[in-house]
Amino acid sequence: MFTGLINSKMRVQILMRFFLNPDSRAHLRELSNEFKASPGHLRSELQQLTKAGLLASEKDGRQVKYSAVRSHPLFPELHSMVRKALGMDRILDSIIQRLGKLEAAYLTGDYAQGRDTGIVDLVLVGDIDRRNLLDLTAKTEHHLQRRIRTLVVDVEEFDALREKLEEQELLLLWHAAAPPDQNERGFSS
């Protein structure tokens, strides 16, 4: 989706990394290891995106940390495009429509940190039809070409596990009681 619009695969990876979870921050060496790319090439791309105002850079000791700029006029569109490119909108639409009484859906693991590793970890809170979940997961995995792992818990179990889950990254995707603007296409903004 992005590679037709943006001619640098590295730039696409960077945008996906920071715009999937705009609260994430990373430094050059971390991104270099993650993308298996040379620091020089990566630095050039980060500087261009920073100059364009899409990324912010902040000195943190001897390192420079980069993050998405939420105030950029293109932020909402890029954030939405990244979610759509990764198929998150389809996953949630299907879950909400077919799985029973969903109270909340959270993204955790690598995707919650903005890394596209091919494995989507979801925490689903509510009274979920597990048979339909298995069927839906298999179909969605095939369509998205990504593996989906789910943890299904009721509200009490989630409350008991919340602290442990938040030690990782826990990104709210959908909540039954959220205002309509936060559930647009299943994602909180």
Fold (topology level) of 87-186: Beta Polymerase; domain 2 (3.30.460)
Q: What is the pLDDT of residue 70?
A: 93
CB 185, CB 89: distance < 8 Å: yes
Strands (E), 42-188: 55-60, 63-68, 100-108, 119-128, 147-153, 170-175
> How wide is the angle at C-alpha 79 spanned by C-alphas 159 and 180, nearest 5°?
55
To which H or E segment does residue 45 belong? helix 39-51
Q: Where are the domains of the chain?
A: 9-77, 87-186
Interatomic CA distance for residues 46 and 38, integer angstroms: 12
Q: What is the pLDDT of residue 5?
A: 39
Q: What's the pLDDT tens digit per position in 41-95?
A: 899 999 999 999 999 999 989 999 999 999 999 898 888 888 777 666 666 676 6
- Residue 110 DSSP class: T
Q: What is the pLDDT of residue 36?
A: 84
Pick the CATH number of 9-77 from 1.10.10.10, 1.25.40.80, 2.70.170.10, 3.30.479.30: 1.10.10.10
**Tokens representing residue 146 in the block:** 């990504």
Q: What is the pLDDT of residue 154?
A: 94
Q: What is the pLDDT of residue 92?
A: 67
Q: What's the pLDDT tens digit per position in 5-47?
A: 355 778 888 888 888 778 888 999 988 888 888 999 899 999 9
Percent of the chain with pLDDT over 90: 27
